[in-house]
A and B are shown apart, each in its own frame.
Chain A
Amino acid sequence: MSDREKEHEGRSPAQRRPAGGGPGRGMPVMGEKPRDFKKSWSRLARYSGRYLPVFVIAVLCAVGGTALTLIGPDMIKDVTGVILDGLASGIDTAAVTDKCLTLLTMYICGSALIFVQSRIMANVSQGICRRLRSDISSKLNRLPLRYFDSTTHGNTISRVTNDTDTIGMTLNQSLGQLITSVTMFLGSIVMMFIENATLAAIAVASTLIGFAFMSVIIKRSQKYFGSNQKYLGAMNGHIEEIYTGHNIVKAYNAERAAKERFDDLNKKLCDSNWRSQFLSGLMMPLMGFIGNFGYVAVCVAGALLAMNESIKFEVIVAFILYVRLFTQPLAQIAQTATTMQSTVAASERVFELIDEEEMAPDAEGVGKRGKARGEVRFESVRFGYEPDRVIIKDLNAHIEAGQKVAIVGPTGAGKTTIVNLLMRFYELDGGVITVDGVPTSEMARRDVHDLFCMVLQDTWLFEGTIMENIIYSKRGVTEEQVVAACKAVGLDHFIRTLPGGYETQLGDSANLSAGQRQLVTIARAMIEDAPLLILDEATSSVDTRTEILVQNAMDKLTRGKTSFVIAHRLSTIRNADVILVMRDGDIVESGNHSELLAAGGFYAQLYNSQFENS
């Protein structure tokens, strides 16, 4: 599987949103629906409990800052009043300056409060995000491997990155905005009614009519957004598929068919595209309309009232400003509501992982013992990946210290199951596996792992220097030991030819061949130097000369160790003391090469099919 595919596994094409957020722009695109809104919020609130005191301060700042802004129009009204009073007689500029200075101070204080609130929320949200990521990461190390074998990497990774990001964004922006918006909304209503009830009622009513109108449009438009996402996904999927299979499309002259499907999708996409684009584009003119409509209503109604002398003219000035303060937060509240929804869906996913059941804690009592000899026994081992599907029914085997065990079977026969059980990556359903007579289930997992060195077929290296890759987590390893291990596997000379020698960074630029990577992992296992060994022989993609090196290195590694080899080479199989033959997950035969051949069972059949001339 290519890296690109890995990037996308676990996500359907439809979920792959285009960069830039699609037709977002102020339009409440339908977010993912969380399953239990309230529960997830309270889980997130409990998780963020330690931030509660600062959060309360932030809320107070937001409310205070907004309240100061809300007093503005009232003060402006007073200023207007002073000017109007002096229109004929001469304006009291000292009084105006006085009032204006007060208001300016209030505005500055208000802004300062909002600034403090934003800073606090930035700190809180990033702190929570960071903790979420850390918790997920350390959680991963406590989860049973069963979890990873049944979940795609993409799925887990997106919880570490996308989902925590979404949560952070909401906490940082939306939550603060929600508080100020609500305060602004309620506050401006209160202020308007204090100024003049009639005019206030007219202002509120006229804006609400506009919003009712808008919500109808939003409701109707949702289905276009849905279908737009769907076609976008289908289109991206088709393009990805055709580009990835470019040589096949060419080789089979399938360009025309691909083009036909593309044109069909492109037409449908264009159609749904302009609709959703248009509808999301409507939001701005609509907001403008609502603002204007409120403005007109206040102006006209205010003027009529002023003519009647039931209000003073400056009240109209105040209302013009209040209508603006009143309409702005409404749109923001609507927008925040949808972000909240996808946030809850994200936190649901994150907490699902954080609350996932962990491995049973290690049993107490059995401490680390001296150097193990490496005698392994399987006694009536029973195991299944799913509880109702037992695949290993009753495995009994006795491996003396220092013996070699070959595990053979066709692809997909479940050879890695044995590794999973030996390393205690999975727990047995019945029976015991003992090392030197001690059941592995009674040891701490760390100690079980310490008993084994392991070289797997997919050569896992990480970003770091060659030296770091070989030493890995082992402590107290000298450089001489690393060099000795590399010399033993025949890698030393090659490493010295690299520009940085042992300190060469292994990165994306694949500067090691598959075989060399394999050699590095073998060297790593040599440094680990545990009494037992698990080895997965490589099958392909290694050039012949390196292949010989790898084989020699593997032979050296198995010396003096009880080894379990997932074998592909016949020489390994023939030389093994015990061969475990696997088929469809179960061990169907065991014995050595000549015994198994003589038995004429599955092994014999496999052996013959592999090497017989067809």
Chain B
Amino acid sequence: MKTLYKIFIPIFLLTAFTACVEQDFVEPKDAEEDSLFVLLLDANEGGTYESETDYKLEIKFEDYIGELPDDEIVLSYQLTDASGFDIGDGDNQLNIKEVIYEIDDCNEGELAYTFNNGEGTISITPDAEIGMPESFEVVFNLPFNTVIEDGEEEEEAIFNDDIENEERPSFSFEVTGISSSNERIQFSPITTFEFELLDDETITTEWVLDISDEAVFNGFKEAFSPVSAEFSELVYEEISEIKFEFEYEEMAIKIELVEEEEDECEAGEFEAIEVEIEAEFEAEDGELVLEGSYFVFNEDDGEPEEELDFILEAGYSISVQNETLIIQINSLIDEDNYGEEAFYRNENGAYSFTLVKD
């Protein structure tokens, strides 16, 4: 037994104290056990037409694990850096008109908020039907005057003028705090949204393409069909209007069909069917670049097969006086067709369209 004793001790020590590899590491907070519910601004900058009388800023929960907690959340905010805007409770001032959320496609709910001289709180509480809303919109009241004309009351945006402005009205919306009994509910580090009112006398407005001449429509169809399977199937007789809408860094080409469909929220109300191309755009010094993506459809099953990015380069000129926009498209390429393989390229303009302000 003495031998055993003498032997077991060193064996035990050798086993017990054998150094293993370095195990130290900083454990990241667990995605599930320490999961967060992070509210964030949908964008940190944006803007709308000067003719608009409100603007909606979306605040939403980032993707999360599990279910949203029901704990009440109170956001503190303030409107700062207002330039051109007068902050106040009046219609002709900048303020918060309402805070709304979507219950379903046809119904909205409202969240309680306070507004006091550009500061206030928004209380986010669960809805009886959908629980805690996944997202909500802060609706800013952009200054307007109420005009009564022909017996009808209309809101007339006070910044809606006919001149090109050098400086644009702007403001910032800053979330200054978040409080909740649930510590897992936090706000994203980006807390400020910067708003800028767009100028209708630049490209940022809605333009209509006159297609009374079928040749114009055919040219339009030829120019954009490579990046839109829907456009390529359009028939002249089925089209009522083609509109180019340039918003804050984003644009859409919308084609309104003659055919109408019933509004899903209001029975008996019919709206024209629209097809569209969306893209981000940059317009500077007469050069216009659209960047977007489109689906390529499978020939056999007709389902989307691939999503490809495209770039459209054009020149443009605006006549403020005539309220026209001339777009001269030089090239169209996508991920599979660029360089020598571009859909088309002509530095002198492959296609040219004259649009009229809507």
The yes or no verdict on A and B being binding partners is no
A residues near B (Cβ < 8 Å) are none
B residues near A (Cβ < 8 Å) are none
